[in-house]
Structure 1
Amino acid sequence: MADHSAPAAAPADLVSLHEAEVVAWLKQHPDLLLRHPDLCDILQPPERRSGDNVVDLQRFMVQRLQGALARASNVGNELLDASRQNLSATQRVHAAVLMLLEAGNFEHMIHMATQDWTDLLEVDVISLCVEGDPERMQEIATGGVVILPNGAIDTLLGALPALARDQTEAAEWLYGPAASLVRSDALARLDFGPTAPQAMLALGSREADKFQPNQGTELLQFLAGVLGRSVRAWLDLPQP
């Protein structure tokens, strides 16, 4: 049976709208599809070009999809690279901790942390910084251990447990003769116990973007925590 029902009425503002007017409006607003990309899903494109005056919407939509696919691929590659870098950093930190457990004495452990760790952690210089009077503590200021004036660590870190800095000009009092090499670094508090002076682990790199302010410092804090506990154990210092 034939359907004699009346077609749905067009909106009042579209009753007098003609194709020529739509075409004219589109010519005045060529960015319509950029502002409303969802229209690509409902418009019917021509299958091929039929003349110089015909725009190939099918090619436009294919190029748009190719662009979206390329962007998604780039994001995926960036995430994959970041995952690989995080895994590599985690493995290096774990290896550094295992190395520390093999120390035969306190001096050997300090040498590992300030000398051997540089290659393992892929940095150029490591300093174990302790606040105090330089004259009274001069005997420990050797082999990567440096004495900082009281309050220096709070000045550098503020209330943070760790901090990464890029494009920095390192101070000689922090890295000694190697300071001229350092272009970025990472700093982390060391906890030697309630009766010990404030201390800090500093890792410096000649690469200006090796460490960046927006990167996480959880692995660095973990490494500093292990080093602090090792120092307390070797020196039999009170626990925090």
Structure 2
Amino acid sequence: MTDVFEEPGSAPAAMDRAMLRQMLIENPDWVRGDTELLSHLAGAPEGVADLGRVVRDRLLGEVRQLKQREKAIAHAARENLALMARAQGFVLSLINCADMDELDYTLAWEAPAALGVDCVRLYLEGATPMIVSEAIHACAGGLTNELLGDDNDFTGLCPSRTARTLYGAEMGSHALCRLEIGGQTGLLALAAREPDIFHTGQGTEILNFVARAVEQRLSLWLTTD
């Protein structure tokens, strides 16, 4: 019988292979305990692609991406729910405003914290509802169309010139929403110093919800000729 251990690399005879196989079956720890040998036996032959490993690695990568996407969606959903809750609380505070002075104060000081922004302004075209105000201001006719065009709202970066005009200070991003109150056109403007708070393509459901509430409240005190 050929001694296979004396001739490395040589192919053992059938009987020798049978004996070696039986020895490994009876002593599997010989292989389990040798990580290099176990890795060699489990791997693909040299020069041959391990398609199973390639597919497995690809699937694992896709699973990781899906998990990250799921976490991002869940995080965004939680943020939206929290923002909606704050917006609803803010709208309730609007209902308690007895006059425009209180509405002006609410927009200037309560709205930013409730809506997670740095500044809130409301502009009414061709109207001067208040002599002294902090958030509610008159503006020239056509300002809303100049900023929004034919759109109802806008979210995105805030140019320096627009920021100085609307907010009196530099802002990174802002959200604008058209108002229609008793035949008068207005503009609700929310601004943040960070450039990524508002971005193109962002949902505007909460913005419009707040704008409609402001419209209804202002209609109590604004009259048309």
Over 3 Å counting, the alpha-carbon distance change for 1:141 and 1:211 in structure 2 is farther
Matched-pair contact (CA < 8 Å) for 1:148–1:173: no
Q: Percent identity?
A: 28
Matched-pair contact (CA < 8 Å) for 1:190–1:198: yes
* CA deviation profile, 1:114-170 (whole Å, cap 9, x unmatched): 22111111111111111227xxx3953521122221111111111212111225323
Q: Does 1:166 align with 2:157?
A: yes
Match of 2:33 in 1: none
Of the three residues 163, 175, 190, the one matched with 1:186 is 175
Question: Structure 2: which 5+ runs fail to align?
Answer: 1-40
Partner Cα separation in structure 2 for residue 50 and residue 93 of structure 1:
60
RMSD: 2.3
Matched-pair contact (CA < 8 Å) for 1:161–1:221: no
Match of 1:212 in 2: 199
Match of 1:27 in 2: none
Match of 1:112 in 2: 106
Over 3 Å counting, the alpha-carbon distance change for 1:100 and 1:226 in structure 2 is same
User: Which amino acid counterpart does residue 115 of structure 1 have in structure 2?
Assistant: W
Match of 1:131 in 2: 125
Partner Cα separation in structure 2 for residue 143 and residue 77 of structure 1:
40
Deviates more, 1:56-65 or 1:120-129: 56-65
Deviation at 1:50, TM superposition (A): 5.5
Deviation at 1:172, TM superposition (A): 2.1
Deviation at 1:71, TM superposition (A): 1.6
Q: Does 1:175 align with 2:167?
A: yes
Match of 2:20 in 1: none
TM-score, structure 2 as length reference: 0.74
Over 3 Å counting, the alpha-carbon distance change for 1:138 and 1:83 in structure 2 is closer
Report the number of matched residues. 184
TM-score, structure 1 as length reference: 0.69
Partner Cα separation in structure 1 for residue 187 and residue 126 of structure 2:
12
Partner Cα separation in structure 1 for residue 124 and residue 44 of structure 2:
79
Q: Counterpart of 1:211 in 2: which secondary structure?
A: coil
Match of 2:138 in 1: 147
User: Which amino acid counterpart does residue 204 of structure 1 have in structure 2?
Assistant: A
Matched-pair contact (CA < 8 Å) for 1:118–1:125: yes
Deviation at 1:111, TM superposition (A): 1.0
Partner Cα separation in structure 2 for residue 202 and residue 83 of structure 1:
24
Match of 2:3 in 1: none
Larger radius of gyration: 2
Match of 1:9 in 2: none
Q: What stretches of structure 1 move > 4 A for 4+ residues in a row?
A: none
Partner Cα separation in structure 2 for residue 140 and residue 213 of structure 1:
35
